[in-house]
Amino acid sequence: MKNIYKYLIIFSGIFLILASCQKKEFIQINPDAKINANLSTQNLVLDSNQPDSDALTVSWDKPDVGFSAALTYYVQIDVPGNHFANAQEFPAGNTLSITLKTGEFNNKLLALGLEGDVAANVEVRIRGKLSDYKMVYSEALPLNVTPYSTILDLSTDWGIVGSATPNSWNGPDLPFYQTDTPNVYVAYVTLRDGEIKFRQDNQWTVNYGDDGLDGTLDANGANIPVTAGTYKITIDLTGMTYTIEPYTWGIVGSATPNGWNGPDLPFTYNPYNDDWKAAVTLTTGEIKFRLNNDWTINYGDTGADGTLDAGGDNIAVTAGHYLVTFDPKRGTYSIDATDLWGLVGDATPNGWNGPDLKFLPDFGLHPGKFYLNAVSLTNGEIKIRQNDDWTVNYGDDGNDGTLDPGGANIPISAGMYNIELDFSVSPPTISIMAWQ
């Protein structure tokens, strides 16, 4: 009898399990779910004098997805006809509206390729994220907007010439830029072992050296010896003095190839906005920004709000390819996902496997051009490819400076080079300029 009761209990349990499975309901997403969105205006002219003012408010209704769910929302903008393939996004969290500030909105518009001070049409829509696999969108809303140019003209007629520079004593010279102080100019340069002088208009008519190597500018003075490195050089034409100091801003952290010990991924000075840029490939991890590969001066982001905090918290990032903007003067930074062009080959430090040496886009008046300066190569070959991958790559079949998709490897002799890519022309071109 005990065994009979035992089996009855087991069969009863199985029946209850089957019954409960039969009653289980599967949640289905409403296939007609969409987001209804509105813009505060359909015509907008952005004011460069008020970057922190409110520019555009986007609001929307919570969509009926068929069940109770919390969505994460993003505002997307793109040019008409592009179907949001290269959209710029503003995260909005779980809210149902967002007000975009003039400065941040302007930067996103320029990133789309819009021209400053020229009215243009864009489209705005909402992307609602249910999961990594399910999105809900609003219809594209038209907006006519006039962004403003953020390009500064900090150029001067002063430069650095000498055997330590790429063009040696023949020029053109490495440029100095304006600072906030009249007659005080600054240059951020990479030099090799050699000598330098400072001169005006790439000519010897007005030039300065240093007869006593005491930091004083002397007209037609002696050459100034330097050792290889990256420097900030400042000349004061009122006080007739100069300084040369090691100077590099970089990205350090677990998300970088060299971890927290460095050397850091270097930034390049952007004279068109008086900030710093870096084209980098990162892994999932954390980063900070620091000066001269040292922790004495470093920045993080304690509030995770895009504001730089001295000694602040590590900044979390996910794996991807990015253009990072670092602006210690204004106390801000941005990390924008983008496609990157890189230099790969056995003539490069990392060989054919990469990671590649990354080109930076032109920051000013030449969209479609990319630069890689002061790169040291060995005897060997190189190619150009996108995002450390062979899906999109270029060589040069005729070795004539014209880039060919999937083309032949480009031979290189050992030396220091400045390399320029020009994708604004068809077919695209490559210029490889050896340091003299």
263 preceded by a cis bond (ω within 30 of 0): yes
* Amino acid at the residue 72: T
Give the Cα separation of 245 and 139 in Å (integer): 54
Rounded to whole angstroms, how far apart are CA atoms 430 and 69? 51
85 by DSSP, 3-state: which? coil
Phi then psi dihedrals of residue 98, to 5 deg: -150, 140
- What is the reported pTM? 0.73
| Rg, Å, the chain Cα set | 28
Give the three-state DSSP class for 33. Answer: coil
Is-contact 174 155, C-beta < 8 A?
no
CA distance 408 to 404: 8
Letter for the amino acid at 372? L
Of 3, 64, 76, nearest in space to 32 by CA: 64
Q: Are 130 and 69 in contact (CB under 8 A)?
A: yes
Ordered domains of the chain (ranges, CATH): 37-146 (2.60.40.10), 155-246 (2.60.40.3620), 250-315 (no CATH), 341-434 (2.60.40.3620)
Of the candidates 400, 342, 336, the residue with the CA atom closest to the CA atom of residue 110: 336
Secondary element (H or E) of residue 336: strand 332-337
Of 396, 428, 390, whose CA–CA distance to 409 is shortest? 396
**Residue 45 CA: distances (Å) to CA of 55, 59, 103:** 9, 20, 12
pLDDT in 10s for each residue of the chain, 436 residues: 444 444 444 444 444 444 444 444 445 677 778 899 999 999 999 998 899 999 999 999 999 887 878 889 999 999 999 999 889 999 999 999 999 999 999 989 988 889 889 999 999 999 999 887 788 999 999 999 999 987 888 999 999 999 999 999 999 999 999 999 999 999 999 999 999 999 999 999 999 999 999 999 999 999 999 999 999 999 999 999 999 999 999 999 999 999 999 999 999 999 999 999 999 999 999 999 999 999 999 999 999 999 999 999 999 999 999 999 999 999 999 999 999 999 999 999 999 999 999 999 998 778 899 999 999 999 999 999 999 999 999 999 999 999 999 999 999 999 999 999 999 999 999 999 999 9
161: Cα within 13 Å, side-chain hemisphere: 21
In the numeric block, the tokens 């909005």 are attached to 92
Q: Phi then psi for 16, rounded to 5 degrees?
A: -65, -40
Pair of tokens at residue 119: 């009215």
Q: Which of 84, 274, 99 has its CA nearest to residue 188?
A: 274
Please, which residues have CB within 8 angstroms of residue 309's CB and are 6 or more apart in sequence?
Answer: 299, 300, 301, 302, 303
- Residue 177: is it exposed, middle or buried by C-beta count within 10 angstroms (0-12/13-18/19+)? middle
Distance CA 140, CA 289 (A): 38
Cβ 66 vs Cβ 30: under 8 Å: yes
CB atoms within 10 A of CB 252: 24
Cβ-proximal residues to 276 (8 Å cutoff; 6+ apart), any chain: 249, 267, 268, 269, 270, 325, 326, 327, 328
